[in-house]
Amino acid sequence: MTILQAIILGILQGVAEFLPISSSGHLVLIPWLLNWDAPGLTFDTTVHLGTLVAVVIYFRKDIGQIVLGVLKTLRDRNLDDPFGKLGWLLVVGSVPAALAGYLLNDLFEQLFGTPVLVSIFLLITGAILFFSERMAQRVRELESIGWKDGILIGLAQAAAIAPGISRSGSTIAAGLVLGIKREAAARFSFLLALPIIFGAWALQFKDALDVGIQSNQITLLAVGFIAALLSGYAAIHYFLTYIRRRSLYVFVGYVWAFGLFMLVMALIR
Residue-wise pLDDT tens digits, 199-226: 878 877 777 676 666 666 788 999 999 9
| 151 contacts 93 by C-beta, under 8 angstroms | yes
| 158 contacts 100 by C-beta, under 8 angstroms | yes
Long-range Cβ contacts of 4-9 (<8 Å, 24+ apart): 5/36, 5/39, 6/39, 6/43, 6/220, 6/221, 6/223, 6/224, 6/227, 7/223, 7/224, 7/227, 8/227, 9/39, 9/43, 9/47, 9/224, 9/227
Compute the distance between CA of residue 236 and CA of residue 172 in angstroms, rounded to an integer: 13
The reported pLDDT for the residue numbered 225 is 95
Compute the distance between CA of residue 168 and CA of residue 19 in angstroms, rounded to an integer: 7
The reported pLDDT for the residue numbered 107 is 76
| 262 contacts 119 by C-beta, under 8 angstroms | yes
Positions in the chain short of pLDDT 70? 208, 210-216
DSSP 136: -
* Residue 151: partners with Cβ closer than 8 Å, 6 or more residues away: 92, 93, 96
The reported pLDDT for the residue numbered 211 is 66
Which residues constitute the domain of residue 94? 3-268
DSSP 140: B
Domain count, the chain: 1
Compute the distance between CA of residue 53 and CA of residue 17 in angstroms, rounded to an integer: 13
Compute the distance between CA of residue 181 and CA of residue 184 in angstroms, rounded to an integer: 5
Compute the distance between CA of residue 79 and CA of residue 114 in angstroms, rounded to an integer: 45
* Residue 94: partners with Cβ closer than 8 Å, 6 or more residues away: 154, 157, 192, 195, 196, 199
The reported pLDDT for the residue numbered 222 is 94
